[in-house]
Amino acid sequence: MHAKVTIEPFRIKTVEPIRLSSEEERKDWLQKAHYNPFLLTSDQVIIDLLTDSGTSAMSTEQWAGIMRGDESYAGARSWQRMEAEIQDLTGFPYILPTHQGRAAEHLLYSKLGGSGKVFISNTHFDTTRANIEFSGAQAIDCPVEAALHPEEEAPFKGNIDLEKLEENILQHGAENVGAIILTVTNNSGGGQPVSMQNARAVRNMADKYGLRFILDACRIAENAYFIKQREAGYQDKSYREIAQEMFRLADGAIMSAKKDALVNMGGFLALKELDLALQCRTTLIITEGYSTYGGLSGRDMEAIAIGLREVFDPHYLEYRIRSTTYVGEKLHEMGVPIIRPVGGHAVYIDAKAFYPHIPPEEFPGQALACQLYEAGGIRACEIGSVMFGHYDENGRFIPAKMELVRLAIPRRVYTQSHMDYTVEVFRYLLDQREQVQGFRITYEPPFLRHFTARFEKVN
């Protein structure tokens, strides 16, 4: 037996029961949750594809690390391990631990941001955008054109559009650019990878205008997988070497460890410049914790150090990407419109194409997320006009560029039969398409409204 069959490269040692519910129960629960899946409780959910963040199953080594965790306030052994691992991976000397990615974003963007500043990215993730806007600065997305065409096959749809990047630098003035940010993989743009060539071009652009280049690296191992498979010159490099090369192009990195560090909580900011690191460290100590633990327990730091190694295991990464692709390919064959090619951590459904009769202002993505839940107990996340839509000064509705629903796949958690079940639920939804209604918002908070907004059905 030698066949190139990709299987889950692990055995299951501990199980967590899933409560199986009926469609009637779910309809009632969803109505009580104001048609926002974020407001459901987890035991009301059968397959939770809301996020791949903090939902990984840890390995035996990581659990062993949890026991070894050193909980000393200052200079813990677990901190030393985490710091050394991140320094080796990123090449940056100054490492600031934080309780998750957005805390690192807050530290950095509250320093680099402020009124009059702009940040330019392939696509800002929602917490990135919120932290930048909260500082008074502006966040500008410059994805490549292909990223806006879900069905178009291209190897690196996560890339930043270099021409638009330069236009924006010139338009706003280099002195007003807080940083260029590459999000790898590009989460809000479909989990699509960024090529090394694109990252190198951003480095050159940053040098040309004297700008900082920051990597949002939370899925950098998955991005490295795509580079090795798709970009010339990387076939003989290891995934870790590819990630190291990309980090070394940047001036700093933010990482939510809840993704590719395979842990349930944690993050960090890694920087090249001492001055900036010292400024961020002051805020770190005021808002997160002392500089050798940030918001983390020693055991969390131990698990991060181990997870950052495990994630680059070729068998893990092949299984990881293959299992996401498996779901995407099945849906595509069935006629479900998805972003192609399938990204790393999630399958993105084009809800505008799935429900062409629901206009963006009635949130087709929210409608699909609600249908998935009612029909199959599957929880997914809308990434469309609920998340990014807004009204301009004249009260005109500005929709998001795309109306997507994300099926984010937790790492090492679900088996192939869970995924087959998910695909079957879509088969059922395909037949019911015409009857499905849109939604209107009945309550929304001023920032990150998708988490807590309430909805009602449009008649």
Residue numbers at the binding site for ligand F0G (CB under 6 A): 51, 53, 100-102, 125, 127-128, 183, 187, 216, 218, 256, 258, 267, 408
The residue behind tokens 């990615």 is 101
The residue behind tokens 């500043």 is 117
Q: DSSP readout, 177-220?
A: EEEEEEESSBTTTTSB---HHHHHHHHHHHHHHT--EEEE-TTH
66 three-state secondary structure: helix
Of 323, 355, 322, the residue nearest 336 (C-alpha): 355
Q: In terms of CB distance, is 219 or 358 closer to ligand F0G?
A: 219
Of 156, 119, 62, 105, the residue nearest 284 (C-alpha): 105
The residue behind tokens 């629960």 is 29
Q: In terms of CB distance, is 55 or 422 closer to ligand F0G?
A: 55
* Class of residue 1 by CB neighbours under 10 A (exposed 0-12, middle 13-18, buried 19+): exposed
Write the CB contacts of 265 (distance below 8 Å, at least 6 apart in sequence): 54, 99, 100, 257, 258, 296, 300
Q: In terms of CB distance, is 122 or 438 closer to ligand F0G?
A: 122
Phi and psi angles of residue 397, each rounded to the nearest 5 degrees, phi first: -75, 125
Q: In terms of CB distance, is 128 or 159 closer to ligand F0G?
A: 128
Q: In terms of CB distance, is 125 or 373 closer to ligand F0G?
A: 125
Q: How far is the CB of 54 from ligand F0G (least distance, A)?
A: 7
**Rounded distance, CA 133 to CA 117, Å?**
10
In DSSP terms, which residues pair with 94 in a beta bridge? 271
Which two tokens mark 301? 């730091």
Which two tokens mark 232? 């010339």
Q: How far is the CB of 100 from ligand F0G (least distance, A)?
A: 3
**Rounded distance, CA 318 to CA 312, Å?**
10
Q: What is the DSSP letter of 338?
A: B
Q: How far is the CB of 404 from ligand F0G (least distance, A)?
A: 12
Q: In terms of CB distance, is 81 or 258 closer to ligand F0G?
A: 258
Q: How far is the CB of 126 from ligand F0G (least distance, A)?
A: 8
Of 350, 356, 366, the residue nearest 438 (C-alpha): 366
Q: How far is the CB of 401 from ligand F0G (least distance, A)?
A: 17
Q: How far is the CB of 235 from ligand F0G (least distance, A)?
A: 27
Q: In terms of CB distance, is 36 or 187 closer to ligand F0G?
A: 187
Q: How far is the CB of 398 from ligand F0G (least distance, A)?
A: 23
State which residue has the least CB distance to ligand F0G: 101
Q: In terms of CB distance, is 303 or 408 closer to ligand F0G?
A: 408
Show the DSSP H helices in 251-348 as ranges: 274-287, 298-310, 314-334
Q: In terms of CB distance, is 100 or 324 closer to ligand F0G?
A: 100
Q: How far is the CB of 405 from ligand F0G (least distance, A)?
A: 13
Q: How far is the CB of 258 from ligand F0G (least distance, A)?
A: 5
